[in-house]
Amino acid sequence: MVLLHQKGPSRKRPPSTFISPFPPPKIPKPPTTTTTTTTRSTDTPTVDNSTRDSANDDREGYMDKMVSLLADAECTLINLTGPPCLPSDLHKFRRHLQRLFSSDSTLRSHFLSGYYSYIQNPGHLHRVLIPCYQNGLGSTKRESLTRILLLVPSIQLELQNMLLEKLPEYFDVDPVDCHSSSLDEDVARLIINHFRWLDFLVDSKVFTDKLLQVLSICPLHLKKEIIGSLPDIIGDQNNKAVVDSLEQMLQEDSSVIVPVLDSFSNLKLDDQLQEQVITIALSCIRTIDSEHLPNLLRFLLLSATPLNVRRIIYQIRTQLKFIGLSNSRAMQHKKLKGKALVDSSEASILDALKSSLRFKNTLCQEILKELRCLDKAWDHKVIDIWLLMLIYMSSEQLRKSVEKILRKKIVEGLIQEGLFDQCIRGNKELVQDYFPSFVSLSEHLLACKEQKARNFGMHIYTALFEEFSDTCSRQEVLGALVTHVGSGISFEVNSALETMVFLASKYSQELVRFSYHINGILDYLEAFSNENLHKVYEVFSHLALSARSGIDPCASFIANELLMIVRKQVSNPDLKYKKMGLIGTLKIVSCFGSADITICPSASEKSNIEEALELLKASTDSCKLLPLPLILFYDELITTLENKVLHPAIMEWIGKHVGEFESMFLADLEGGNLPCIDSYGGLEGELWMNLDGDISPICLNVLPLASSSFQSPSSLQVLPVNFLLLSVIERLANQGSLGGIDALLGCPLHLPSSKYFTERAWQSLSGKQKKIVCLSLFYAANWTRELLNVFCTQVAGNPEYTSQATREELIGKLSKRLRNLVFLECLLDHFLKSYSLSLPELQLHTEYLVHAEKKNEHKRLHASSTSKNNKKDKKISKDSVNGSSQKHKQPTIIDVLKKAGSVTSEEVPDKDTPKQSTSETAECQNSDPQPANVDVSAVYKVLEAQRHKFRPLRIYSFSILEFTKNQDSCCTDPSAELPLYLYLVRDLHYKLDCFSPPNKLLSSKCLSCPPGLSKMTVYEFLRKIDSLFPVLKKHFSSAISIIDEGTETCEEHWKVQSDLAGNPYIPGFFVPKSSVSCSFCKEILSCIGKMLSLPDIHMNLSVLSNLLEAFQPVKISDSIFSNAQEIPSPGNLEYLYCGSYSFLEEVLDIAICSSFVLASEVLFTLESIVNSVHKYLDTVVEGNGKNIHTGRGFVRAVLPTLRNRLGNSALNILRHDWDDNNLVNDWKGKGDIVQKVLRIFLEYSESTSDLLDELACSILPQVPLSNTTADDGFRSFQTLRSATFLVWYRVLHEENLTILNKLVKEIVLLEKSKEGVQPENVKSILIKVQQSVNVVVSLVNMCRTHDKVAVHAMTVKFGGKFVDLFLKVFDFLQTHFKMHNGLIIRLVKELQKATRTIQTLCSEAKGLKQTSITSKIPATKRSMERFLFQVKALLHTASSGCTFWMGNLKHKDLMGQVVSSQAYDDDRNDPTDEHHMEAGVENQSVASEEEVTEKN
């Protein structure tokens, strides 16, 4: 026992100033002790020595008893060489102590007091905490003494309290030393470690409370240690207190988030606590440091359950500010200039997200669901892009879903390019691991059909190329683009080349080293369209320019190869290759010959300007005798000059080249007259359209050049484009003024004499002469077109270089030239009807346009030839000349064209036709010497077939619409200029058709845009013409006034104005006032409808607003606003929609009294407005996170009113009593119009089903069977007559199918919904299906009274389709058969009436061999057979109380009579008879029908 008092030297800890916040441990006192234990008091400076000695004696006594007790249990506490020695059997040791303490509480108190006194010495405390030696085991270390004592139940709680009390004394340990030292040297960590993984806790609640109290005052490093060990210390009890305490600590100090999350993860929490923990973690997303975010995100995602996963994803998306991290990282990257970055928080966050998504696949699905639900652009964040990329990278199965979601949101404008910029730009190291995924996603987007998606893909490619400067990454980007170029898909190739053009123009020097990878494109130039050829050559021109200026001599091979390829192509006689070379030449010239290029090649090479000039000269020389290539060359050169400033040396050469224009095409005049009158090809000539009178010094030499074109290629083909090039050079040289060539605007044209344009004189001409005349008119018309194109630039927009007097003079001449153009084309169209001629092409189109237009042209010519040949008299066919000799000759194109429009028999153009044959035919056809009347305002049907060969009118030409009426007019008739305006508006309509092709898969650029529009987007086109909208409204109102008033026009006006314009007098040409007004209004309305239908107009609200604002009424009808709570202010887009609709309704009231066609066109435009309102509501516009569509509520309120009024307008047209005498060709050819009007009436009615039921069951059956004098329309529907019956019949069938299809989709949606199909919905759906069945039965039964084959064919076709759709609702019928068996059985029995009639129609069609019907029979019979067995299955599976039997139909006609030739004895009991019955009916095994009857 003496050893107890011998204390070895030890390091005494400095006195601690820490005062424990806890009361001293409650150690039980021995019952015999009467001494009062005194506590330390800071208020008592001195303590009585006797009292102190007594206390020391007591502590020593307790320690002696404790040591003795342990010694009796074979545990040696005092061990000078190390920790205490434990007995070999620890379980026996613990049981022995437990038995002693349980039986004697005094002994337990003495032991605890002694132990408490013993551990007051730091050295002793350390000894009892470190692992001890066990007797008999040598030097093997096991548990510490304290650890063994903690497993004694009777003293565990007091020991835990003692150790926790000692813990604050070691708070001041340096955390650096703590982490560097071993566990055995850190007393605080030793104490905590002793509480871990205890076999049991005597009082878990008390211990947990005590531990959490100590935890609240621990230093940070120890607090983290304890928090992380909590699950190991307290087990699964008191989780609520632990969670609440940790939540409080997190609020005070967020730096403990990591151990807290570890603790939460290891605790076994119930659902309520788990939700509380998730809420705690979510609240920390914004407050914790970025370095801890990966742990937090990983915890949240791995803790997700089906109930809370959407909330977790939403909170992560909304609270995680990923953009801030990216920006700071980008700034740091710039400062470090390429050094390694220390902060890798973003990468860690992405790694945490990626690992979590891979561990839990359901997270990917839920994230995609969350992103699908976002319908506002401002709801999408940078983290959404990264989530999509992580899913795209991690899950092969979900790649298609990610691509689909991303494409949809890009097309809808919900995801903007800025989000991807924030991901990529400035984050090279971060994106490096995801680079292949970004490239793969760009590949998908660039291959999409939607232009927006492709633009997005182009943007990502560009961003990746700019951000990653290493060779490998850039090579991968370029390789992907080259793959796109080789895809062969036009829009994909176009977008890929646009991307390469951008990169080549901005990074040409960097791309030079990658030229080996993209040179292969030059091997496939044949597959590219003209537009794509431009892009290819532009890319390589930039590379060649950079290569020639680079220091690397090996790089010059790019330029040499390009120049070699272009020279070979230019010299190739094949037009296809020559076209490539010409385009390449001008792209190289625009790049090499640019005025702002300061780069010079090496001294051993030619200068860039010299190379450009050589190419120009070579191209010009190769095209001198080839009009079409030369036209293409000039057009491309004009485009280059208008968009690029070239070097003065190149401009000088071009100026000298076009200086030959005067000697080639112009002739001198003497006193405004021809110096001599000569004959050209047997034709006399005269001057036409002389606007300058006697002072005109020159004329355009058309007739002489046209007559000489038979010996050599005509230079007149190049005339229009040559003049356009001359005007461009003149404008560039004189700051926009054309004063140097203004004499060309008023100079006359040398054309054939006007005496040849009477019917009798025309028939007397030979084929060669007719061709000369027609070609002269054709070239004159195109010359006039280019005059308008060129000189309208001098007056459009009031340019500064044009004085007011000059402007007024130009306006007068331009108006006259437009009148000349109308006259020339009308004259040419009229005479081409009797002389078919393929006009020469004056512009080279893309391949698609050429093939499409030629196909249409030949189709029209063939149709004309067929119709005329069918109507030709038999006598004329017998008198054909050389018919036998040419019977077996292969027809040429000329032969086809001759047959297409000729009334007489023409010969080959190179040979003169004998006048006997032509005069003979002329005598038969022209007994009346007076020519037929020719409507100048009519559509030029023959010319329209070859319209693509004309030079196009450019946008500047539409400025003529803004000019005031000619002051020399003979009257103030507002319709005076309408024929001219009609011509321009038709051309505007043609251009709008180019921007809205019928095939949605092809962009407008890839179709038929003429030069001048080929490089113009829809938006640019609309911006250039939006100033015309008020002018169009003005002329439209004038035309409507003429129609409304119905006044007579001035008969002399057209003649007077023609004389003033220099048009020769040709009898028979007139302008009907009503026809012009209606045609003009119809064209204006078509243009409005086309513009409202353009998809881009809803993305450019300013153009849309200008269009609607132009067509506003004086006062909007108040009835339009009847359902609106608040009317928007005038000028708002919503108000403008209502105004335009009200204005057109007023126009409809006028049109419906005059013209069925015009009234229908107004209706179609009203429908375009309603559709535009729908698109306007669906369009999402970005505006600082807010929707700028402020009037959406108003539009939603007024839209039903507009739809209802539209349906009523269609009803008014259908019911109006039209005067058949005012209809052109009666009702023939009006079927398409009636069909559209009827569809609008049905679609926009309140109940389409009820309306179909009424029309099919009550009204349509009463239509007369044939066209008679009494056929004035059926009562309230005047458009429903025998001539239009087929149209109504087909529309009702199609609309009925549409209604049934909607019902099928409605049923599918109801069955997929959570609520399922409600009983009230079931009956409503069945009633709608019953209505649809009634409609089809009524329509089919009409075949019994209408014997037209077309009606029967429609019945078989649409009847089969109806049955096929009806089968899709059979599962629904079977499900609800028990509750609604009566209604369902009536449905089946009613439909059976129609199927039997269809069976009869099929049988009759086979017997009569009506192929238009028999081709539809197999599909229809298959549908009816499936219907038969479905009904059988339905009644078999459902115990409905019904009987069902199946037998063969008797062969009956439509009237129900048995066909006598196939009558048979219907004996069901004789199997032999039945067998013969089946064999006797032709293919009736499929024609079996069901008989469904209810049991009585």
Predicted pLDDT at 633? 92
**More confident call, 19 vs 986:** 986
Q: Among candidates 188, 184, 185, which has minimal Cα distance to 167? A: 188
Backbone phi, then psi, for 396, in 5-degree steps? -65, -35
Q: List CB contacts of 890: < 8 A, sequence separation 6 or more.
A: none
Q: What is the mean pLDDT of residues 146-154?
A: 88
Is 576 within 8 Å of 570 (Cβ atoms)?
A: no
**More confident call, 667 vs 523:** 667
Residue with tokens 């299906």: 1329
Backbone phi, then psi, for 704, in 5-degree steps? -60, -40
pLDDT digits (tens, 9 = 90+) for 1461-1476: 544 444 443 333 333 2
- The two beta strands, 85-86 and 133-134, are parallel
Q: How far apart are CA 389 and CA 357, in angstroms?
A: 11
Q: Among candidates 795, 819, 669, 667, which has minimal Cα distance to 742? A: 795
**More confident call, 835 vs 976:** 835
Asked if the model's pLDDT at residue 1113 lies above 80, the reply is yes
Q: What is the mean pLDDT of residues 102-114?
A: 88
Predicted pLDDT at 338? 39
Asked if the model's pLDDT at residue 497 lies above 90, the reply is yes
Helix (H) or strand (E) holding 771: helix 767-791
Asked if the model's pLDDT at residue 1084 lies above 90, the reply is yes
In angstroms, what CA-CA distances link 19 with 37, 164, 166, 167, 189? 19, 14, 11, 12, 20
Q: How far apart are CA 344 and CA 341, in angstroms?
A: 7
Asked if the model's pLDDT at residue 1481 lies above 50, the reply is no
**How does DSSP assign 15-28, residue by residue?**
PP----SSPPP-PP
Q: List CB contacts of 814: < 8 A, sequence separation 6 or more.
A: 745, 788, 791, 792, 795, 960, 963
Which letter does DSSP use for residue 1271 in this model?
Answer: -
Q: What is the mean pLDDT of the chain?
A: 77
Asked if the model's pLDDT at residue 396 lies above 80, the reply is yes
pLDDT digits (tens, 9 = 90+) for 252-262: 887 888 888 88
Place 730 in a pLDDT band, splitting at 50, 70 and 90.
very high
Predicted pLDDT at 444? 93
Q: How far apart are CA 746 and CA 728, in angstroms?
A: 19
Is 1036 within 8 Å of 1081 (Cβ atoms)?
A: yes
Q: What is the mean pLDDT of residues 1286-1292?
A: 90
Q: How far apart are CA 64 and CA 687, in angstroms?
A: 143
Asked if the model's pLDDT at residue 1177 lies above 60, the reply is yes
Percentage of the residues of the chain whose pLDDT score is greater than 70: 76
pLDDT digits (tens, 9 = 90+) for 341-371: 434 677 888 888 888 888 887 888 888 888 8
Place 1313 in a pLDDT band, splitting at 50, 70 and 90.
low
* Stretch among 234-238, 1310-1314, 1348-1352 having the lowest mean pLDDT: 1310-1314
Percentage of the residues of the chain whose pLDDT score is greater than 90: 20
Indicate the length of the chain as a whole number: 1496
Q: What is the mean pLDDT of residues 1180-1207?
A: 64
In angstroms, what CA-CA distances link 759 with 679, 765, 1055, 1350? 21, 10, 20, 42
Q: What is the mean pLDDT of residues 1350-1369?
A: 87
**More confident call, 166 vs 539:** 539
Cα dihedral 1219, 1225, 1227, 1232, rounded to 10, equals: -130
Q: What is the mean pLDDT of residues 1147-1175?
A: 90
**More confident call, 341 vs 812:** 812
Q: What is the mean pLDDT of residues 42-63?
A: 60
